[in-house]
Every structure is written in C-alpha cells, then in structure tokens.
Structure 1
Amino acid sequence: MSELLNLPPAVAKGLAAWHEMVATEDMSDLESLIHPNAVFSSPAYWNPYTGSAAVAHVLQCALSVFTDFTYHRQFATEDGHHVTLEFSAKVGDLELKGVDLIGYDADGLIERFEVMIRPLRGLAALAEEMKQRVDLTVLGKAPG
C-alpha cells in the first residue's frame, strides 16, 4: 500500500503503529494509540462506545473475528487528521468490504474510529460473532 502524503508527523506515527499492530496481529499496546475520550461507531452497534478501553476492546474483538483481513487503499483529508482505510476480509465464509474512518488529534491519538461494512450479510455475520466475544463490562454495559 502506498504511503499517505501530507500527514502530520504525530498522525503518521500513530497510523504506522496501527498498521504494524494489524499486520502482526499484536494488539497488546493498542490502547496507547487511542485518546482517553475516543469514540467508536459501527453499523453493528446502535450507540457509539467511548473511552480508550472500550474502543481498544471492540477493535481487538473485531480483528479477532476477521480472516484474510487486508487494507487496500488509504486516503487522508487535506489537513492529514482524518484517514480512510479501505479493507476486505472474511467472516466465516462470507466476504466483505469496508472502510475505517479514523480521526486523529494533534498528538496522533485516535479520537474517532468509525467502521462501515458491506454487504449486509457480512455485517450481520460480524455482529453475531462480536456478540460472542465482546465483554460488555469493558464497554460500561451490564451483561445480559
């Protein structure tokens, strides 16, 4: 994948760390990349989740569900603080496409992470798998 141009150094460092974690499947330091008040949104969840622990947990769970996860293209806004990453993956035998819309602060921390996925069957399969893996207590929700 080609490098993004015009990223502030802190954002470039944060994005590179994210790509490295995804490539190595080692999310052990993920929370260090996320702003304490970060927000995660996905069509699989009715309400967004906030806080670095919740965002890290959801991202770790999602990446554990996917197989053959690959980023294909990346784009950035003119100011370099918002990045779009196009990906493909499988959930079970269903193929899906999606984008990660990531907003960074001046220190290169993720402030906003929004995911869009298609087709609907792939999204439904992901949501079902996530229900099995997400620890609601980490998200600040009561189990059950």
Structure 2
Amino acid sequence: MDDAVLAPAAADSLARWHAMVAAEDFSRLAEIVHPDAVFHSPVAHIPYHSRDAVVLAVSTALEVFSGFTYHRTFVAAGGHEVVLEFRARAGNRDVHGIDMITFDDDGLIVTFEVMVRPASGLQALAREMAERVGTQLSGYAQ
C-alpha cells in the first residue's frame, strides 16, 4: 500500500497549523478555516458550525491543555484528510487523543473533529471548556 500524501494546499495549511501550535498563537487560525467549517467536540453530540465556532473551540482547548504534543500523523487517501495523534494534560489528568481534520481543495479546514480518552481526562477537559466557553459555543450548535 502506498503512503498517502496531503494535497499541496492542505499540506501548507497543516504546516501553518503546526507552527501555530508550536508558538501557542492562534491569532491567525481563522485564515486557514473555511467560513462554513464544522467542529465535532469529543463531549457534545451535536456539531458546532462556522469558522468562529472552530476557532473558539480549538484555540480554547489548546489553552486548556498543558504539555500538548503531536506524536503521529496519518494521511488518508485523496490527500484532504489527516489524523494527528496527541498527548497532553487537562488539569491533573493525562489525555490521549486525535484531531481529525478535513481540508477543502483550497487548503481550508472544513471539519475538525476531536476524540479524547480516557474518560477522566475527557471529563476534566469538558469541565474546563464549559467554564471558559460553554455558553458562547452553544450558540453555534445546530
């Protein structure tokens, strides 16, 4: 089986994403997110719609995490989807998870889905997110 390769525009946006994570500066995140993007939370059963929702959820989650690092990257056939495996801490809990990101032909993020384990780490993340942006984020639920 051949290794899948990201489309050039997606690869560029992913490189920009990694630079933002490394710098802990998400002030330009909106530049790589599609206006109609969708965020799938690891704790909510309904998705959040819009660029603003994705930027708010993702940037806040990365503020909540400490020691956040990516360990592995998987690229899906077609070159528009990537899975990034990470480890971090939420409060005093270890977290292991993945970010599943889909890019459009222009390299803009159209979906950002997060899965987190174990349950204790997910609960710590959920509590902190609810305190910081719970009411704001709920306005984007559809």
Same fold (TM over 0.5): yes
**RMSD value, Cα:** 1.5
- State the distance in 1 between where 2:135 and 2:59 align: 14
Aligned residues: 138
1: CA distance, partners of 2:36 / 2:84: 22
Contact 2:40 2:114 in 1 (8 A): yes
TM-score by length of 2: 0.92
Shift of 1:7: 1.4
TM-score, length basis structure 1: 0.91
Contact 1:54 1:139 in 2 (8 A): no
User: Identity of paired residues, percent?
Assistant: 49
2:20 is aligned with 1:27: no
| 2:63 partner amino acid | S
Matched position secondary structure for 2:135: coil
How far 1:44 sits from its partner (Å)?
A: 1.4
Q: AA paired with 2:34?
A: H
1:76 is matched with 75
- Larger helix share, 1 or 2: 2
Structure 1 runs of 4+ aligned residues shifted over 4 Å read: none
Specify the alignment match of 1:113 in structure 2: 112
Counterparts of 1:37-48 in structure 2, within 5 Å, are: 37-48=36-47
Q: Which 5+ residue runs of structure 2 have no aligned equivalent? A: none
